[in-house]
Amino acid sequence: MQRLPIGALYALPLIFLAVFYLYPLLAILRVSMGSGDFLAQAATALTSAAFWRLLWFTTWQAALSTLLTVLAGLPLAYIFARFDFPGKRVLHALLTIPFVMPTVVVATAFMALIGRTGLLNEWLQRLLALDSPPIQLEQTIWLILIVHVFYNVAIIIRTVGGFWSNLNQHLNEAAAVLGATPWQVWRTVTLPLLLPSILAASLLVFLFCFTSFGVILILGGPRFATIEVEIYRQAVSYFNLPLAAFLSIVQLGLTFSVMVVYTRLQARLSRTLRQRRPVRSQPPRAWRQWALVIAALLVTAVGLLAPLAALVVRSFTLGDQGSTLRYYQALTENPRQSAFFAPPITAVANSLTYALATLAISLPLGVISAYMLAQPRSRTAVILDPLLLLPLGTSAVTLGFGYIVAMGPLRASPWLTPIAHALIALPFVVRTFLPARRALDQRLQMAAATLGAAPWQRWWTIDAPLLTRALAISAAFAFAISLGEFGATLLVARPDRPTMPMVIYQALGRPGLLNYGQALAMSTILMVVTAAALLAIERFRLPGEEEF
């Protein structure tokens, strides 16, 4: 039997990244350099107050969002790490919701809860007999900050909480018997040990908030723009490609710097983690501990579920007619009776098709990459490892913009959307699959061999059970990412084949109750579909192998 050309297989991820990641970025560089004078462009931008305002706003809103997220996440991380209580598993599963929920859905959900016509305002108005809605957060920075915290608090809880529960409890006790007060124990032992994990999680949160797109675009209105939003506006609304290119490069430079620090911290974390032995979490004992746990439980559950519940409720009750299905029915109608417009409901099929295509691309590439990275002395791995992390630090809008300027005739291809989604999903697929692949200890194979297992039996009884779980989780992640992807899709998807997030965004942009209702209805559908993928993740998740 002829051997498979393994080398050729291994080249696939490299080729994919070169063509669909590096080449578009280079094209952006070319646009910004090639259109007359790059230096002049840069000089104009750098001397304009608007540019610095943009950079300043992007930075401080990200920093403030991160700070608030850490402040909200640390107490919850502590409770998750230290206590065992009924419902802990369910709550832990709920924490994944914001992580995979599309930005468009979350933004719409928060509008449905605390927007001007939101559920909470309606109740308060009725309850207190007020003339105007008491909560006036729409198009303020507060709403953006709240959503950013909602979005990212799970990162802090999972990263820091996971690390915290692995901290040796004896260290705190040793400090206490050496005379440290509880506050001194926290300051001299717990905090220094947690700090790397807090920093790493914060950097990731900062990165996500820094490149925040959908949340700002939908909730910020015209008043607020991050660099990411501005790139989109310059490229699509004003068609100022050189400025969009310049902004993309500035943003890339900044996000990559954050990425470098983040990966350094990650490496340090895995080193310090090696010597830890986990300590079992205990049920709360004193009534004060119970009060703390119950309060945290309620706040988390309400905070996570209330916006999504409001979204569902609102999609059935918007307007004055009580409960209604009209917004869902409207999704199936073609309002302009035009041959060019399909009913919005077709977007569900489009999104699912794109998501399946994303799976078809990202899973094989991710699995090949993971196998490559798991090889001990692979030269390609040295190149691939950082290369695979880069898409994580590259904003979706930049990528979509790169496709617009780089892909030429391919720009109209329906494949471009799943390719962009696959590229965004690839780092997640690899990071999820790699630990499982690495866990395939060679000695297990040898042990199985000495116990009499033939090669195929070894593969079937050892590799397959360990890897299928990881593969299923990777697939669920990729699926959810594709369903919710907004920034790149907005730039590359064809208008005649819109995805669900696009339809929601467009409906939000049009006036009238019917359009808003349709946005709510479509968001609800998208939420349900994503939640299905999410359930799959929680079913398959192995404890303690999260890298994000």
Partner 1 sequence: MLEIVDLHKRFAPDKPVLQGVSLALAREEILCLLGPSGCGKSTLLRVIAGLETPDRGEVRLNGVAINGLPAHRRGIGLMFQDYALFPHLDVAGNVGYGLRMQGMAAAERRARVDAMLALVNLQGYARRAVDELSGGEQQRVALARTLAPNPALLLLDEPVANLDRLLREELVQELRHILKTLHVTAIFVTHDQEEAFALADRIAVMQAGRIIQVDAPPQLYRRPANTFVAGFLGFRNLLPITATPGERQVCTAAGAFILPAAPPGPLAPGARLLIPPDAAVLDVQSPGPTYVSFSGRVTATTFRGSVFQLQVAPATEEVGCQLSFEFRNRGRDRLPTIGETVLLWLDTAQMIVVTADV
Q: What string of H, E and C letters represents the secondary structure of 481-518?
A: HHHHCCHHHHHHCCCCCCCHHHHHHHHHHCCCHHHHHH
Residue placing its CB nearer to partner 1 in the complex, 277 or 288: 277
* CB of residue 161 to partner 1, shortest distance in Å: 19
Residue placing its CB nearer to partner 1 in the complex, 285 or 443: 285
523: Cβ contacts below 8 Å, ≥ 6 apart: 104, 105, 108, 109, 311, 315, 504
Residue placing its CB nearer to partner 1 in the complex, 270 or 272: 272
| Inter-residue contact 219 to 140 (CB < 8 Å) | no
Structure tokens at 202: 């914060």
- What residues form DSSP beta bridges with 83? 282
Residue placing its CB nearer to partner 1 in the complex, 5 or 179: 179
What is the CA angle 347-348-353, rounded to 5? 95
* CB of residue 185 to partner 1, shortest distance in Å: 8
* CB of residue 196 to partner 1, shortest distance in Å: 9
| Inter-residue contact 139 to 220 (CB < 8 Å) | yes
Residue placing its CB nearer to partner 1 in the complex, 128 or 177: 177
The upper half-sphere exposure of residue 108, i.e. CA atoms within 13 Å in the direction of its Cβ, equals: 35
* CB of residue 441 to partner 1, shortest distance in Å: 23
280: Cβ contacts below 8 Å, ≥ 6 apart: 84
Angstrom distance (rounded) from CA 525 to CA 519 = 10
* CB of residue 176 to partner 1, shortest distance in Å: 4
* CB of residue 160 to partner 1, shortest distance in Å: 16
Q: Measuring CA to CA, how many Å separate 76 from each of 69, 82, 109, 533, 538?
A: 11, 10, 23, 25, 20
Which letter does DSSP use for residue 247 in this model? Answer: H
Buried b (16+ CB within 10 A) or exposed e, 505-514: bbbbeeeeeb
Residue placing its CB nearer to partner 1 in the complex, 178 or 291: 178
| Inter-residue contact 146 to 118 (CB < 8 Å) | no
| Inter-residue contact 347 to 523 (CB < 8 Å) | no
Residue placing its CB nearer to partner 1 in the complex, 132 or 275: 275
Q: What is the contact surface with partner 1 in residues (CB under 8 A)?
A: 168, 170-171, 173-182, 184-185, 188-189, 192-193, 272, 275, 277
Residue placing its CB nearer to partner 1 in the complex, 71 or 191: 191
* CB of residue 188 to partner 1, shortest distance in Å: 8
Residue placing its CB nearer to partner 1 in the complex, 283 or 509: 283
* CB of residue 165 to partner 1, shortest distance in Å: 16
* CB of residue 205 to partner 1, shortest distance in Å: 23
